[in-house]
Amino acid sequence: MHQGPRRRRAYLLGLIMLAAIAVPAVAHADPLTDWTPGPNAVLDNTYDGFIDTPGMNSSLSTGAFAVAGWFVDKTAQGWAGADDVQIWQGTMDGAGKMLARASFAQDRPDVAAFEANPFWAASGFGGVVVAGSLAAGPQVLSVYVHAPDKGWWYKQVQANVSGTAAAAQPAAAAPTVSGAALPVVAIEKPKDSEQVIATKGDYEIVGYALDRSAAPNQGAAGSGIDRVQVYLGAERENGGTFLGEATLGFSDSTPVGQYGAQFASAGWRLTFKPTQFHANTYLLFAYARSAISGKEDFVSRFFAIREHSP
């Protein structure tokens, strides 16, 4: 997998969300609670992190409030180690309720200094629980973090919810940074080593692309992707022929089985004319850009253009 140019982009957590509030400038470890195994959790606890807000036993309004903090998997190489973060009332496997999906890979240079690892600067998370999600009274909030191949792990904080508590003042959401996970991109058609017959007119290239950290309203049709570009013959930076920008938002069942129902419309399509190219073997390259982090990844596919059927 290859990484395109690094870009930074501030984005909304959702139309009904306010924004993640600013986190403290100094990282703290949590001496009271630990990351606890959740659904599908495997291997040892190799995690560090802290729920910055709300604080333990703090008072929350029944209006909207933010949940923010940081997380690192201390065995992760080159990134902080999380590919999903969710906020729950109670627990996933204990009749709890999901309150929000948090954005993650947010900029936390204090964590990089605290942990002495520059890659863990992109370790922040933040989400907003919308007004009316919690009833007044004592509540237990759980922050669930998913690590690839290690399942869900969570940390909890207790809070007192009151209709008279002052609502938190929102601030601008933190931008995502270079430590965010790469988007997923695939080419489904042509198949590997497929022979495309030039005399049959237009040919439709088919694939899917998604960012696993996307909220349902981010990117095209909730895919978290805002652009797919396709090149023929060589990589984009090495003189490949630009075939065009694909149309996004097509229905595709393949990513659903791997990444969830949110990505049922993560498909992309691009039509080109094989008759404009000589009969030969080619490499096809598809570049997908995340609407969340601005990061790109690409995938390649070997195929052939033939003047007639063999």
Residue 140: inside a domain, yes or no?
Answer: yes
Q: Are 69 and 133 part of one and the same domain?
A: yes
> pTM of the entire structure?
0.49
Digitized pLDDT (tens) for each residue of the chain, 310 residues in all: 444 433 333 333 332 233 333 334 444 444 456 899 999 999 989 999 988 888 888 888 788 888 888 999 999 888 888 888 999 999 998 889 999 888 888 778 888 888 888 888 888 888 888 888 888 899 999 999 998 889 999 999 988 988 765 544 333 333 333 346 788 999 999 998 899 988 778 899 999 999 988 888 788 888 989 899 999 998 888 888 999 999 999 999 999 988 899 999 999 999 999 999 998 999 999 999 888 777 888 999 999 998 875 5
Residue 172: inside a domain, yes or no?
Answer: no
Q: Are 247 and 279 part of one and the same domain?
A: yes
At 172 the pLDDT is 33
Structurally, how many domains does the chain consist of? 2
Q: Are 254 and 194 part of one and the same domain?
A: yes
From 115, 130, 162, the end of a domain falls on 162
Q: Are 61 and 151 part of one and the same domain?
A: yes
Cβ burial of 283 (10 Å; 0-12, 13-18, 19+) is middle
Residues spanned by the domain of 294: 184-306
Q: Are 206 and 244 part of one and the same domain?
A: yes
Residue 9: inside a domain, yes or no?
Answer: no
Q: Are 196 and 289 part of one and the same domain?
A: yes
Residue 5: inside a domain, yes or no?
Answer: no
Residue with the two structure tokens 């009969």: 279
Q: Are 40 and 88 part of one and the same domain?
A: yes
Residue 168: inside a domain, yes or no?
Answer: no
From 162, 194, 209, the end of a domain falls on 162
Of the candidates 129, 126, 136, the one whose C-alpha atom is nearest the C-alpha of residue 52 is: 126
Alpha-carbon distance 82 to 77, whole Å? Answer: 12
Residue 248: inside a domain, yes or no?
Answer: yes
Q: Are 41 and 128 part of one and the same domain?
A: yes
Q: Which two tokens stand for residue 195?
A: 């022979």
Q: Are 114 and 196 part of one and the same domain?
A: no
Residue 29: inside a domain, yes or no?
Answer: no
Q: Are 194 and 146 part of one and the same domain?
A: no
CA geometry: angle 41, 109, 75, nearest 5 deg: 30
Tens-digit pLDDT profile for residues 95-138: 899 998 888 887 788 888 888 888 888 888 888 888 888 888 99
Q: Are 299 and 218 part of one and the same domain?
A: yes
How far is the first Cα of the chain from the last one, in angstroms, to the nearest whole number? 33
Residue 273: inside a domain, yes or no?
Answer: yes
Render the burial of 87-116: b for 16+ CB within 10 Å, e for the rest. Answer: bbbbbbeeebeebbbbbbbbbbbbbbebbe
Q: Are 193 and 129 part of one and the same domain?
A: no
Query: Which CATH number is 250's domain given?
Result: 2.60.40.650
From 130, 162, 194, the end of a domain falls on 162
